[in-house]
Structure 1
Amino acid sequence: MDDAPTPAGTSAAVPSDGPAGSAPTVAAYLAVADEAFDGIEAVLALLDDDSVNRTPLPGTVNTVFALMTHVHGMACYWGGSLIAGERNPRDRASEFRSRGTVAEARDLLDDLRTRLPGWVDIACTEGVRDPHAAGTSRSDAADVTAEWALQHLFHEIAQHSGHMEICRDLVLAD
């Protein structure tokens, strides 16, 4: 932390007049995401290019790679398209059929680690830039707030991180 004195007449505190709050809010969102991302990294560390594409129960349980692809697509929709106004084409159904390598899964995770701070900052300072962004199965997406979108994004990351852990454990137990 910078211990430099603040110029007279100014405050070191960050104003909390943005839609979702202030710098402490941004830091809190990113800390929660980092915990989930670290969990996903731990899952990937134990898998190889075969096991990342295996399912413990074919036809009913998604593979770790498919889940990582879905997490990436979901986050790029809620954070990138809806909040930040980016154009992130998405084929949600194909996310669950995707196959790839551990390195490719890590690339998707690294992409989220890089892009998420910008999306959170936009949500906390501007709100939702494109409420009509395409890419979700939710019919109420156009009506959500930036706060709701961030909470939903983090809920989904955490939920699917847990799914990845269970899938990894069952696949490696085979």
Structure 2
Amino acid sequence: MQIATTFRHMEQSDALKSYAAEKLERVKKYIDEPIAAQVFLTVEKIRHMAEVTLTAKGITIKAAEETNDMYAALDAVIDKIERQLRRYKERLKDHKPSTDTRSIEVQKSIVTAESIEQQIAPVIIPSKTISIKPMSVEEAVMQMDLLHKDFLVFTDSSTEAINVVYRRKDGNYGLIEPTRK
């Protein structure tokens, strides 16, 4: 921890400087990152003011206190800083994501989906196998409507060729018939 102590309207005191450093050591239990602290000790007639500014990664905390004694002012300001840091830690705990298995599964599927998108070659996704039965085009359209599908692969009963019936965007139906060369 880096501590910069500034004395205003008073003589520099090593005892006050070391007391402030000793009290600021209590703050380390709340934040383990590198901390920079600025301590301002000011005397105005009979008022003794202590002001502390803590800066750590992503957080800045300020507190000030004034009493008739500089040591009491330092104690009070460090207590305020500790309360603020305790509240900050509790907020961090409250906002941590839950560790239930559903969120972990979703995260895993997102990672696999991203890795599939990043691949250059297209990926073949396994699908189910169906048996193609011979039927007419009208029967295939009726079957497709009953199954609520957008397309249906079937064998034409008259030509015995594999055909595809599909629903077009305009609401009509399309038919794909293979031709042999």
Which is richer in helix? 1
Assess same fold via TM > 0.5. Answer: no
Which is richer in strand? 2
The TM-score with structure 2 as length reference comes to 0.29
Structure with larger RCO (C-alpha < 8 A, sep 6+)? 1
The TM-score with structure 1 as length reference comes to 0.30
